[in-house]
Amino acid sequence: MPTSGQASHGRPEHYEQRVSQQWLAILSVAVGAFALVTSEFLPVGVLNDVASDLGISAGHAGLMVTLPGIMAALAAPLLSVGIGAMDRRYLLIGLTLIMIIANTVVAYASDFSLLLFGRVLLGISIGGFWATAIALSSRLAPRGVGVAQATSIIMVGVTLATVLGVPVGTWLSGLMGWRMTFLVTALVGIPVLLAQVCFLPRLNPDKAIHVRDLPALFINPLARVGLIAVLLIGLAHFAAYTYVAPFFKQSAGFDGPTIGSLLLLYGVAGVVGNLFAGFAANQSVRYTLLLVALLIGVSTALFPHFATSLSGAGMLIALWGFAFGAFPACASIWMFVVAPKDVERGMPLFVAMFQVIIALGSFFGGRIVDQLGSAVLMSLATALVGCGFVTVLVLGRNVSNRLAAQAA
């Protein structure tokens, strides 16, 4: 007969508490990932304000997106290899602390150079945290919870940040100014940090990651097809989307509240797209990625012609948000489908590549916007997405979700 110290199903109370702590640990990592990636994309929504306040061009202000991407690309593999057998718990806590410091530096920066220093610190935190958190998801999950489910919880934080970070930042900036937006993000990191200190268990690695392990996904032929497609589609997206707010202001003549509302619509549509991808990509990741590429390509192709009116801008930004909301999930699921045994070893370099995409996209997008204008940028983005679509259609024709089932 169960004692009062046991749960109703006959399990010891301490076991129930341990399971609760494990779920809280996963949640703290997921919210930490959300805060980090939100911090990364905040500048997209406040480029106009930062450029005006500091007396620089929108393209120059785009370095706020470029530099963290470069640093994250370096930090992901270097930290994964360099920390050796260090307890990953301390690494995650340390990276969250760096995020808080970085956003505080940006909030109080007196000039653009100091602001960029804060963004460099953020990039180190993003690269190390993203690569480590996803790889450790299975270690944090309670018994009976699959790796995919635990990973998906953390990836929800990453995905939602990519689609909600910009509209949230724009909305907060409209209410309190861009500096307070970064300070609020820093303050949000404090309870996340405390939760990680309280709930994260010891996370000593079973095996340290070596340099020779990093190219695992790049060596796999079908994973390589997905990487090429992600590179092309991602470059197009980040080159064009980073400068959507300046387009709305300069080409469409929208005011700040209108731009904030449009970017919020993008974020809401992105959440729907993320939910859609969770179902559709698990049925056929190839067809889902093809649909994502098609929708982003249609959006960028039509943007210069129809996004100058409020109705056209609303429809196109919602379509774009829906498509990109599904994109990160498709990219991750593709790797789990074609190379499930290589994901953990190859994740640091995969994260590095994604950050390079963000950095290069925002950098070259800024140069094109400043010299040739938004219409040329959107046309080039459409061409890149078209190349990604053809890559998946032709080179990825042998990719099927049955590959993952057979591997299991």
101 falls within a domain: yes
CB-CB neighbours of 398 under 10 Å: 11
Rounded to whole angstroms, how far apart are CA atoms 235 and 240? 8
Separation between Cα atoms, residue 227 and residue 212, nearest integer Å: 19
Distance, in Å, from the CA atom of 89 to the CA atom of 56, rounded to the nearest integer, reads 40
Q: Is residue 324 assigned to a domain? A: yes
Among candidates 30, 40, 394, 43, which has minimal Cα distance to 246? 43
pLDDT value of position 394: 92
- Measured CA to CA, the distance from residue 151 to residue 138 in angstroms comes to 7
Cα–Cα distances in angstroms (integers) from residue 357 to residues 83, 88, 94, 182, in the given order = 25, 26, 25, 23
Q: Region 320-337: what's the mean pLDDT?
A: 86
Region for 373 from its dihedrals, namely left if φ exceeds 0, alpha if ψ lies in -120 to 50, beta otherwise: left
Asked whether residue 90 is domain-assigned, the answer is: yes
Residue 298 and residue 181 share a domain? no
CATH number at residue 42: 1.20.1250.20
If asked whether residues 189 and 225 sit together in one domain, one would say no
Could you give the percent of the chain with pLDDT greater than 90?
A: 24
Distance CA 44, CA 38 (A): 10
Q: Between vectors from CA 385 to CA 305 and to CA 330, what angle results, nearest 5°? A: 120
Same domain, 77 and 93: yes
**Considering the domain boundaries, does residue 302 fall inside one?**
yes
Does the pLDDT of residue 320 top 90, yes or no?
A: yes
Residue 2 lies in a domain: no
Check residue 253 and give left, alpha or beta (phi > 0: left; psi -120 to 50: alpha): left
Q: H/E/C letters for each residue in the chain?
A: CCCCCECCCCCEHHHHHHHHHHHHHHHHHHHHHHHHHHHHHHHHHHHHHHHHHHCCCHHHHCHHHHHHHHHHHHHHHHHHHHCCCCCHHHHHHHHHHHHHHHHHHHHHCCCHHHHHHHHHHHHHHHHHHHHHHHHCHHHHCCCCCCHHHHHHHHHHHHHHHHHHHHHHHHHHHHHHCHHHHHHHHHHHHHHHHHHHHHHCCCCCCCCCCCHHHCCHHHHCHHHHHHHHHHHHHHHHHHHHHCCHHHHHHHCCCCCHHHHHHHHHHHHHHHHHHHHHHHHHHHHCHHHHHHHHHHHHHHHHHHHHHHCCCHHHHHHHHHHHHHHHHHHHHHHHHHHHHHCCCCHHHHHHHHHHHHHHHHHHHHHHHHHHHHHCCHHHHHHHHHHHHHHHHHHHHHHCCCCCCHHHHHHC
Average pLDDT of the residues in 280-295: 90
Name the domain count of the chain.
Answer: 2
Please identify, among 203, 220, 254, the residue that sits at the C-terminal boundary of a domain. 203
Same domain, 87 and 143: yes
User: With contact defined as beta carbons under 8 Å apart, do 352 and 123 qualify?
Assistant: no
Q: pLDDT class for 193, splitting at 50, 70, 90?
A: very high
The reported pLDDT for the residue numbered 285 is: 87
The pLDDT score that the predictor gives to residue 47 is: 77
Q: Could you tell me if 258 and 327 lie in one domain?
A: yes
In a domain, 124, yes or no: yes
Residue where a domain stops, chosen among 170, 203, 236: 203
Mean pLDDT confidence for 19-40? 81
Domain of residue 307, residue span: 210-408
- Determine, yes or no, domain membership for 331: yes
Residues 177 and 226 in one domain: no
Tokens 């805060």 sit at which residue? 35
In a domain, 336, yes or no: yes
Domain match, 183 and 233 both: no
Residues near 285 by Cβ (< 8 Å), separated by ≥ 6? 330, 333, 334, 337, 399, 401
Q: Are residues 197 and 338 both part of a single domain?
A: no
Residues 384 and 238 in one domain: yes
pLDDT tens digits, one per residue of 346-404:
777 887 888 788 878 888 888 888 888 888 899 999 999 999 999 999 998 888 777 55
Structure pTM? 0.75
Highest mean pLDDT among 94-103, 153-162, 174-183: 94-103
Same domain (yes/no): 243, 352: yes
Domain co-membership, 165 together with 255: no
Question: Helix 310-338 and helix 256-283: axis angle, to 10°?
Answer: 30
Mean pLDDT of 230-257: 87
Does residue 72 register a pLDDT over 70?
A: yes
Spatial separation of the C-alpha atoms in residues 135 and 6, rounded to whole Å = 33
Judge if 262 and 318 occupy the same domain: yes
Rounded Cα–Cα distance for residues 408 and 402 (Å) = 10
pLDDT computed for residue 43 by the predictor: 83
- Of 167, 184, 203, which residue sits at a domain end? 203
